[in-house]
A = this chain, B = another copy of it.
């Protein structure tokens, strides 16, 4: 039985890790830490009452390390990079849900975030998108778990990009996220009354997930890509839908494109390519680790419109983290998911 701990258990990613791990047949949750006064975890999450008898509090990293084999970091960026090395030095495996080790170029990281405190660890980290990097994940000690928007966009673009069908000059990624993506810190903008009838864009071409998307799409396509990326907030709890507009430079029919996607993902349990003319819907992936992909091609316009749906807290965060854990420890990839 694998012993796992969560550092940063008081945010939505931490809560979702608990929801998944508590029913995972291969693990035992042995330690929970968060910057709060020590309290039984069910006081923080009343839905856990009777299910998990563990305290959560401001535990030291060293102490938490003693109690587990694998540590999930559900911390804000900048905080994660302070803790990851502590665990790694003690021989623990770390799955970091923050952005701290996702960007391979420390300069890009520092441009979008803050000064990096341990850049030497960046190259040890594996970008934890199993559909692209499964072999590296198997051997990794430090996983940089992908961002929610990037997951939805990279999986949607990869097949057409890899096969060089896309004019990479002008990619449009229009993403829409449920509100849990904005985190658990209360602000007026996130109140129920402010959001129930609200739909809006924010941070067009200025969101921190953009360099992560650019990095991975560039890797896949072999050329430098800069996407246009506009995130939006949807009045629902969970789910991301990304609508991706890809201008095509080589001809392909919708049928052939679907074959390409089905073939590309033929061994992937967690990617489901929709049938002809079917659009993914966030409701079909809620609380699941799937990424649903719909592909439409308009040859007369040289345009592909790809839509993808994930649960931002699952395939976009904690579910993918557990998928990575399963791979790292040789468990069945979909165990507990």
Contacts and interface: CB of A to CB of B under 8 A. Distances in A.
Interface of A: 12, 25, 46-47, 49-50, 170, 172, 174, 176, 178-180, 184, 186-188, 190-202, 204-205, 226, 228, 230, 232, 234-239, 241, 243, 245, 247, 269, 272, 278-288, 290, 292, 294, 296, 298, 301, 303, 305, 307, 309
B192 A281 contact: no
Given A47-B283, A176-B176, A290-B50, A303 B228 contact: yes
Given A174-B174, A296-B204, A241 B199 contact: yes
Number of copies: 4
A239 to B, nearest CB: 6
Contacts of A284: 46-47, 49
A193 B197 CA distance: 12
Task: Give the secondary structure class of A's interface.
Answer: mixed
A294 B201 contact: yes
A199 B303 contact: no
A108 to B, nearest CB: 16
B199 A234 contact: yes
8 contacts: A174-B174, A176-B199, A196-B196, A200-B281, A200-B282, A201-B307, A204-B305, A204-B307
B238 A301 contact: no
B190 A191 contact: yes
A200 B286 CA distance: 13
Contacts of A283: 47, 194-195, 197-199
A272 B49 CA distance: 8
Contacts of A180: 193
A235 B235 contact: yes
A170 B65 CA distance: 54
A184 B191 contact: yes
Given A193-B184, A199-B176, A204-B305, A243 B228 contact: no
Contacts of A178: 199
Contact of A192 (B192, B228, B269, B307): B192
Contacts of A202: 279
Contacts of A179: 191-193
